[in-house]
């Protein structure tokens, strides 16, 4: 089961994915609503997965890790950013905050599968917004958690450290190919409203078609 915790501000959307194990995808800056939903569901948290390392997606990591026994997971290219508290990569100063340092437990790689029991999250490395950005595909519900790679109404910005329009085009084309082959019924983005695979097609055509 997938439980969205959507933001109405500049904070990121967060998602709780519950199988036999539970994963939280992104923590936002203020993880209070996520922790409240976890308590309501009565589940523990096994994994905290960051789609990338910007502060609006990782700022609440420490509170979730302190409250749960979750293992922190990020793509291997982002491990150093989190463990060193890289100010340029985390962009904490944009939110008048300090860049936190945190230990990463699981270094994610492209093609890796995280087995939650009856639910699997497939890791796709999708650079462009950042070099370490990932999307996660859940094949049973045909859901894609896209971070800031693609939204229901657009694509992630590429003018920040590590951003690349050419890389983002490649990533979006890869996601689009997945949609055409397997189907993406639900798009769970890092910001904004929930969408569908058709929104990915529209975004690609708008910016790269």
Burial 42-77 (b: 16+ CB within 10 A, else e): ebebbbbbbbbbbbbbbbbbebbbeebebbbbbbeb
Q: In whole angstroms, what is the distance from residue 172 CA to residue 179 CA?
A: 10
- If you average pLDDT over residues 88-98, what whole number do you get? 90
pLDDT bucket at 182, cuts 50 / 70 / 90: very high
Using an 8 Å Cβ cutoff, are 145 and 135 in contact?
yes
Q: Per-residue pLDDT tens for 135-176?
A: 999 999 999 999 999 999 999 999 998 999 999 999 999 999
Between residues 47 and 97, which one has the greater pLDDT? 47
Counting beta carbons within 10 angstroms of the beta carbon of residue 164, is it exposed (0 to 12), middle (13 to 18) or buried (19 or more)? middle
Structural domains of the chain, with CATH: 2-207 (3.60.15.10)
Q: pTM of this prediction?
A: 0.97
Q: Per-residue pLDDT tens for 52-76?
A: 999 999 999 999 999 999 999 999 9
Counting beta carbons within 10 angstroms of the beta carbon of residue 172, is it exposed (0 to 12), middle (13 to 18) or buried (19 or more)? buried
């Amino acid at each position: 089961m997938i439980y969205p915790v959507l933001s109405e501000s500049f904070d990121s959307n967060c998602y709780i994915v519950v199988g036999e194990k539970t994963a939280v995808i992104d923590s936002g800056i203020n993880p209070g609503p996520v922790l409240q939903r976890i308590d309501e569901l009565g589940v523990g948290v096994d994994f905290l997965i960051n789609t990338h390392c910007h502060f609006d997606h990782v700022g609440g990591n420490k509170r979730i890790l302190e409250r749960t026994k979750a293992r922190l997971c990020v793509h291997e290219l982002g491990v150093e950013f989190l463990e060193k508290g890289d100010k340029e990569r985390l962009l904490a100063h944009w939110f008048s905050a300090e860049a936190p340092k945190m230990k990463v437990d699981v270094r994610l790689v492209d093609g890796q599968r995280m087995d939650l029991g009856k639910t699997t999250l497939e890791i796709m490395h999708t650079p462009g917004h950042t070099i370490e950005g990932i999307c996660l595909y859940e094949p049973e519900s045909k859901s894609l958690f896209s971070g800031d790679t693609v939204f229901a109404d657009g694509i992630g910005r590429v003018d920040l450290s590590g951003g690349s329009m050419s890389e983002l085009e490649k990533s979006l084309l890869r996601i689009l190919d997945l949609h055409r082959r397997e189907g993406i019924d639900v798009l769970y983005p890092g910001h904004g409203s929930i969408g569908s695979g058709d929104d990915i097609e529209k975004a690609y055509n708008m910016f790269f078609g």
